Structure formats: structure tokens, C-alpha cells
Chain A
Amino acid sequence: MGELITIEQKILSKNADIAADNQRELDRRGVFAVGLLSAPGSGKTALLERTLAALAGRARAGVIEGDVQTDRDARRIAALDVPVVQIVTNGTCHLEARMVQEALSRLPGDLDLLFIENVGNLVCPGSYALGEHRRVVVTSTPEGEDKPLKYPAVFRSADAIVINKIDLLPHVPYDIEQARAFALQVHPGVLVFETSALTGAGLPAWIDWLLAERRGSADARQ
């Protein structure tokens, strides 16, 4: 006869434990970490390049780049003279906390802000906490306005949503008000930014939010 063992444990509890360790380590260093999630090609890296340029002189930023293959993104970030660690997952469709833990050990200790750019994927990365303080989901106008409805779990888990490539609005059939409505439908009250990483439109509000969240988090720790 079989014996029933009741367990009630998170399947990804090991990942959750390491993510909590990561956040403690980030807090110890006084680093505010922002995770960036999106589909491939939404302009995460371009948005990051613009963001890092705008933050220069205002906050010391670092980046962890997650990609399935190549260090192309890390080289783009390094060209801005920003500390960056590339994680190549070799086929894995998401970053895991242990990968971030290892990457943290290779970053300088005196950062104010850390961006963790996940593998381009709107499903799998959503299940893995990394230790980030805020999670931002980036979507872009050519993808269509219904992305939040199609990938509700990840949009619901986001602290903010960025609609990027608004410079393309005259050229693509994208109803930005409808996109906002869909985002708010799956995540009532979520903050939505509209940006163009190409022209810089909408960047100031996004940068102000990042700096305000960082300050708020630092104050809360004191």
C-alpha cells in the first residue's frame, strides 16, 4: 500500500531562496535592481542604452545581460563604459537566480542601480524570481496592442510596463489607448510608460521613476 506524504512546498523553492539571498546581497551593497522582461526584439537593449546614457552622472549603473547566445548585447553596453556581465544561457529560455548570483560576484560593489535584462521571452522568465526589486515588462508598437491579454501572467507580475517604439506609431496599426486599456485590464493600476529608444521620447518620465523608486527603496531600508 502506498503512503501519502503531504509536502506543500514551492517547486522552485531553491530558486526562490537564492533570489532572496541575491536581494539581501543587493541591499547590503545599496544597489537597487530592476529586471527587464520582454519578447525578443522589443528594444530592451536599445532602451537600456538610452537609459544608461541619461543616468550618466546621476547614478552609477551596472547591467546583467541574459541571452541564449552571444555577447553582442554586453558589448553594446560596455561601449557606454558601464560595468556589464553577460550571462549566456546556452539554450535555457530564462535567467535563474543562481546565474544572477554568479554574475553579481563579478560586478563592482559601488553601484546604485542594476539592470537585469532577461532572455527575450514573455512566458518562462516570469516564473523565476531573481532578487530584483522591481520588474518591468517592455512591449513595443509593432508587436500589436494585445500582448498583455496574450501573456497575462508576466504583465500582471510587472511593477511597470513600458510601451517602446512609439516613434513607429504613424507607421503601424497600433492603438496605444487600447494597449493601455488591455494592460490595465490584466493589471489594474499598473504604471505604463510610453517611450522611443530611438528618439528619446518619453525617456524623462521613465528615468524619473527609476530614480524615485531607487530613492524610495533606499529610504525604506534606513
Chain B
Amino acid sequence: MHEASIVRELLETAGARAGSARVRQVRVAVGQLSGVSPDALTFYFEILRGDTVGAQAELEVDLVPLHGRCLACGRPATLQELAWSCAECAGALVFDNGTELNLTSLVVEHG
């Protein structure tokens, strides 16, 4: 449920960046180890955008692929979906990323 506070921060940052322009799209990147649910982000975005610069904006959530390697066989792994064992040898995986929670871009309209 912390997605509500995250969306508030997001709308505030978007407002600061957009200035007097109207925001049409807000794009965010979410890692699979961020502890944040994309569905919950979208849910709260639709509730909280009301009186903000994002009132008419859509939220686009990109899931960031996990990059890592197997501790046993050393094989590099790129995962679209979280897993804990190597697909080849079932060894443990370590990841270089996963905690992303970023505002990537805005689409704004002037005038």
C-alpha cells in the first residue's frame, strides 16, 4: 500500500518538471525486486492524479528485466520474470539490478 505515497511523490516531481505544460503521459521503470506492484501504482495513479498536473495523464509502467549470473555455472541470466535458480544447472542466481523505481520520462503538451 506504499504505492500511494510513491504516486504522490511521482506526481509532485512530474509537476515540477512539466511547469505550465499539461502532462499527457508519465512513464516509470519498476524493477522486480523493488517491492512495488505495477498494478497498485496504476490504481493509485488513477485515484490521485485528480487535481494535479497529471489529471489527464496516463501512467505507463515498464518492468525492468533482471540481469545477473549463476553462482554455480557462471552463465549470465536475463530474466523478464523473477526466478531464483539457473535455468541450466539450477544453481543460485545473483543479480546486478532489480530495485529500480524511476520516473523515466514525461510527455507534455504546451499551450
Contacts and interface: CB of A to CB of B under 8 A. Distances in A.
Q: Determine if chain A interacts with chain B.
A: yes
Contacts of B13: 7, 9, 11, 13
Interface in A1-26: 1-15
Contact of A7 (B6, B85, B92, B105): B105
Contacts of B55: none
Q: How large is the interface on A (under 10, 10 to 19, 20 to 34, 35 or more residues)?
A: 20 to 34
Question: What does DSSP make chain A's interface, helix, strand, loop or mixed?
Answer: mixed
B92 A4 contact: no
Interface string B91-111: 010100011011111111110
Nearest to A185: B84
B28 interface: yes
30 contacts: A1-B109, A3-B21, A3-B110, A5-B18, A5-B105, A5-B107, A7-B17, A7-B105, A8-B103, A8-B105, A10-B102, A11-B28, A11-B102, A12-B101, A15-B9, A93-B1, A124-B35, A127-B6, A127-B34, A127-B36, A127-B101, A149-B84, A153-B33, A153-B98, A156-B33, A156-B98, A157-B99, A185-B84, A185-B85, A188-B71
Closest CB pairs A-B (n = 4): A124-B2, A153-B35, A2-B107, A126-B35
Interface of B: 1-2, 5-6, 9-10, 13, 17-18, 21, 24-25, 28, 33-36, 71, 82, 84-85, 92, 94, 98-99, 101-110
